[in-house]
Amino acid sequence: MPLFTIDQTKCKRDGICVAECPSQIIVQKDKKSFPELMAGGDEYCINCGHCVAVCPHGAFILNSMPPAACEPLDQNLLPDAPSLKHLLQARRSIRTYQKKTVSRKIISELIEAAHYAPTASNKQQVHWIVFQDPDEVQRLAAMVIDFMKQTLSLAVDEAAADRYRRIIRVWDSGVDRIMRGAPHLVVAHSPSDTSFPEADCAHALAYLELYAFARGLGTCWAGYFTAASNAHGPLIHTLGLPAGHRCYGAVMLGYPRYKYKRIPAREEAKLHFR
Ligand SMILES: Cc1cc2nc3c(=O)[nH]c(=O)nc-3n(C[C@H](O)[C@H](O)[C@H](O)COP(=O)(O)O)c2cc1C
């Protein structure tokens, strides 16, 4: 089966698909010819669907992704730049959560949104585990504390050791600074041999955090958990990732207890134009 076909009744031979293909495997001999696949081009297609999505005439039929399989882009649903900028600035890391849990339906919606984050070479190799049970999330936090206790003597510097000691001390007094009492934990993992697994997972988690905020939810990176997740035997066992996968990030998730009223000031961007 060919990689793609061109509906010649619709194609206007405008060359847009040729210009937009990231792998440059679509060729057009001249302005009168229809686009064709470069010899041996199949091998280089990353199945990103840009050819289908960009064609204004619906003439490009990628066999794995015909135009009918691609949702139309609705300009009216796009936020304007000030709204989006405000959302980006207004999202906060949330560290106090309501007891209420988030439904599986809403969590699936978050993952669906995160799933549209870019991935290197469109590999789409971000996998997810969602811990739904708040007690299980607390057990994970306890494992991170065990890890901190075991590695305290190996802490790289005194500041790090001091931070660990404080976290352990407050944990022993009933305060959770690992999961912040969040009811859920969303873990992103990838095969470690993809090109950019850290970046893929971080992008996906950032999308998830922003969409969660727009949906009235709160998130916070679980950095201590992430650091322990590939190093502490009991956590590795509990996560049970497929062979060759590593955890590259995780966020706490729940309904925030408080609403923020202001956007905290940030340092000026460290920017140099050249
Ligand atoms: C990689 C990474 C790891 C983080 N780890 C933690 C963490 O373990 N616990 C925590 O409370 N916040 C964690 N944070 C949240 C940051 O402290 C937070 O993003 C920062 O203070 C700015 O606040 P904002 O997210 O509300 O803008 C982490 C953030 C990032 C990007």
**pLDDT for res 1:** 87
In this structure, the answer to whether residues 116 and 47 fall within a common structural domain is no
**pLDDT for res 71:** 95
What is the percent of the chain where pLDDT is above 70? Answer: 100
Distance CA 153, CA 108 (A): 40
Is pLDDT at 156 greater than 80 in this prediction? no
Q: Whose CA is nearest to atom 26 of ligand 1?
A: 92
Q: Whose CA is nearest to atom 15 of ligand 1?
A: 221
**Which candidate, 242, 236, 245, places its Cα nearest to that of 197?**
245
77 is a domain residue: no
In this structure, the answer to whether residues 140 and 21 fall within a common structural domain is no
**Which candidate, 98, 160, 57, 120, places its Cα nearest to that of 248?**
120
- For residue 266, what are its two tokens? 């940030």
Is pLDDT at 86 greater than 90 in this prediction? yes
Which atom of ligand 1 lies nearest, measured to the CA of 92? 26
In this structure, the answer to whether residues 104 and 221 fall within a common structural domain is yes
* Residue recorded with tokens 């939810």: 217
Q: For 125-134, what is each residue's pLDDT tens digit?
A: 999 999 999 9
In this structure, the answer to whether residues 33 and 162 fall within a common structural domain is no
Q: Concatenate the DSSP letters of all residues of the chain into one string.
A: --SEEE-TTT-----HHHHH-TT--EE-SSTTSPPEEPTTGGGG-----HHHHH-TTS-EEETTB-GGGSPPP-GGGSPPHHHHHHHHHH--B---B-SPPPPHHHHHHHHHHHTTS--GGG----EEEEE--HHHHHHHHHHHHHHHHHHGGG-SSHHHHHHHHHHHHHHHTT--SSSTT-SEEEEEEEETTSS-HHHHHHHHHHHHHHHHHHTT-EEEE-HHHHHHHTT-HHHHHHH-PPTTEEEEEEEEEE-BSS---SPPP-PPP-----
Is pLDDT at 154 greater than 90 in this prediction? no
Which atom of ligand 1 lies nearest, measured to the CA of 180? 11
Cβ atoms 139, 229 nearer than 8 A:
no
Rounded to an integer, the average pLDDT of 165-181 is 97
Q: For 36-84, what is each residue's pLDDT tens digit?
A: 999 999 999 999 999 999 999 999 999 999 999 999 999 999 999 999 9
Q: For 16-25, what is each residue's pLDDT tens digit?
A: 999 999 999 9
**pLDDT for res 131:** 98
Q: Which residue segment(s) compose the domain that 46 sits in? A: 14-69
In this structure, the answer to whether residues 99 and 184 fall within a common structural domain is yes
In this structure, the answer to whether residues 97 and 209 fall within a common structural domain is yes
Cβ of 196 closer than 6 Å to ligand 1, yes or no, is: no
Cβ of 223 closer than 6 Å to ligand 1, yes or no, is: yes
Cα–ligand 1 centroid distance for 125 (angstroms): 24
Which atom of ligand 1 lies nearest, measured to the CA of 266? 27
250 is a domain residue: yes
Mutate which of 179, 221, 225 for ligand 1 pocket (most atoms within 8 A of beta carbon): 221
- For residue 232, what are its two tokens? 């502490």
**pLDDT for res 158:** 87
Cβ of 224 closer than 6 Å to ligand 1, yes or no, is: yes
In this structure, the answer to whether residues 163 and 236 fall within a common structural domain is yes
**pLDDT for res 102:** 98
**pLDDT for res 265:** 98
- For residue 215, what are its two tokens? 């949906």
Across the chain, what does the average pLDDT equal? 97
**pLDDT for res 271:** 97
Q: How confident is the model at residue 152 (pLDDT cuts 50, 70, 90)?
A: confident
Choosing from 6, 40, 69, the residue where a domain stops is 69
272 is a domain residue: no
Is pLDDT at 115 greater than 90 in this prediction? yes
Distance CA 166, CA 177 (A): 10
In this structure, the answer to whether residues 130 and 165 fall within a common structural domain is yes
Which atom of ligand 1 lies nearest, measured to the CA of 224? 8
CATH code of 24's domain: 3.30.70.20
In this structure, the answer to whether residues 62 and 128 fall within a common structural domain is no
205 is a domain residue: yes
Q: For 239-274, what is each residue's pLDDT tens digit?
A: 999 999 999 999 999 999 999 999 999 999 999 999
Q: Whose CA is nearest to atom 14 of ligand 1?
A: 221
CATH code of 237's domain: 3.40.109.10
